[in-house]
Amino acid sequence: MVVGRFAFAVLALCSAVATGAQAKMFSPTTFTLDNGLQVVVVENHRSAIVTQMVWYRVGSADEQPGKSGIAHFLEHLMFKGTHSIPVGQFSKIVARAGGRDNAFTSTDYTAYYQSLVADQLELAMKLESDRMRNLVLDERNVETERAVVMEERRSRTDNNPAALLSESMEAALFLNHPYHRPIIGWAQEIAGLNRQDALDFYARWYAPNNAVLVVAGDVDPAHVRELAEKWFGPIPKGEVPARDRVTEPVHHAERLVTLKDPRVEQPRLTRLYVAPSAHFGDETLGAKDSSAALEVLAEIVGGGSSSRLYRDMVLKRKSATAAAAWYDPIALDYSTFGFSVIPRKGVTVEALQRQLDEQIALILDKGVTPGEVQKAKDRLTVGTAYQRDSVQTGARILGAALATGLTTEDVESWPESIQAVSPEQIEAAARRVLARERSVTGLLLPDHSKGPVETGPASSLIPSREER
């Protein structure tokens, strides 16, 4: 699975912000094994279940040029067995124990997880530690799985105009940085991936000192440490390369990407801006400290039915059926601030673009009010207790944060960061980020000249770059 830097992080981190200046997120226990494996334990004793996740600090942005898709391809191949686990048996073993498992790849990390009853944690550790260094691949399985990934790309991207537009927009948004590559890879490069490519990538990046083990659920930290030492402790450190990535040049021109396709039934307007993340900032985009302000800004402008975009375009002008804004704070490098609007029948996307420009201009010219800032903070804090009840939520938030350069302290102090945001900080962040020269506008339009064709899968208003 490919997990993108869009929907997951926004929904997870933003909705998990706690109320109260001193509230904490998950109160994790952390320690590091002698081989460099970082371990995070989140206790949740509401039910006798446990989620184990292993996060590797490597994603599609770490691929070599010409080998796009290898991170995601290896994720698939990790289920092909080891010397002690036959091909295709990994998930069956988990299922026989009453659990489920899966994996996902993003630009900055690759993660594998199992959810089981708590007394089966040792089984999960045994299985996951085994494939950390003992993966076995043969040519036949590699060829079969490559065909699976090619079909996955055809069904989820090539047959989905919205996904094709999103892919083209990201390629235009990042001129030089490897975030411009699709996580699943370009089709012609996927077709050229082979067994040695996968083994080389595996040997280069899959090591305990490049991984984070997160265990959440009905567990005792001391017992988790005992099991981690037993199963992961004997694995030697690897010679993991530095994650040296190129940077973006100064952007001088806004870009427009238009996709016309007979499969499009519903037009759409999307706009993306390069933004700082919670880990990365620069003099042009603003410091990483502005990420909390951008979260609150996204909530004010397009965070739901009380947002500015919704009230203006959907309720007042009745020009749109849906309108949203989002910001993703979780990335090792650059992040993205985005807008998406769906027109009502008879309204052109060009008209919506003018209305969107008006709303952005209001933010830049008039700023935001203290009242709407506080309401946005309050909306972001709703549902915190339910998020803490979820075993997987803490594991996912902490794992993604640690895999992208943040710390457990960054996650735990997130409530204070949100509560401390001022109108002035929001306005300053908006002026830096919402500059047209750093934007890409995407128009998804029907092409009636070619007649009706079978449509691909529907896509959500907020794009998600995700592959299973």
- The catalytic residues are 75
C-alpha of 365 from chain center = 32
Q: Which amino acid is at 174?
A: F
Q: Residue 196, exposed/middle/buried by CB under 10 A (0-12, 13-18, 19+)?
A: exposed
Q: How many CB atoms lie within 10 A of CB 292?
A: 24
CA distance 103 to 178: 22
Q: How far apart are CA 76 and CA 147, in angstroms?
A: 11
Write the single-letter amino acid at 134: N
Burial of 184 (0-12, 13-18, 19+ CB in 10 A): buried
Which 3 state secondary structure label does DSSP give 214? strand
Give me the amino acid identity at 180.
H
Q: What is the dihedral of CA 112, 192, 159, 443, to 10 degrees?
A: 90
C-alpha span between 217 and 197 (Å, rounded): 36
Q: What is the rounded distance in angstroms from the CA atom of residue 156 to the CA atom of residue 133? A: 31
β-strands 320-328, 335-343: how paired?
antiparallel
**H helix or E strand, kind and range, residue 370:** helix 370-381
Which residue carries 């929001």 as its tokens? Answer: 426
What is the C-alpha to C-alpha distance for residues 429 and 294, in angstroms, rounded to an integer? 7
Sheet holding 255-261: strands in order across?
A: 255-261, 439-446, 268-275, 335-343, 320-328
Max intra-chain CA distance, the chain: 66
Which amino acid is it at 272? L
Alpha-carbon Rg for the chain in angstroms: 22
Long-range contacts at 169-175 (CB < 8 A, ≥ 24 apart):
169/257, 169/270, 169/272, 169/440, 169/442, 170/272, 170/465, 172/255, 172/257, 172/440, 173/255, 173/272, 173/274, 173/336, 173/439, 173/440, 174/248, 174/274, 174/334, 175/248, 175/249, 175/251
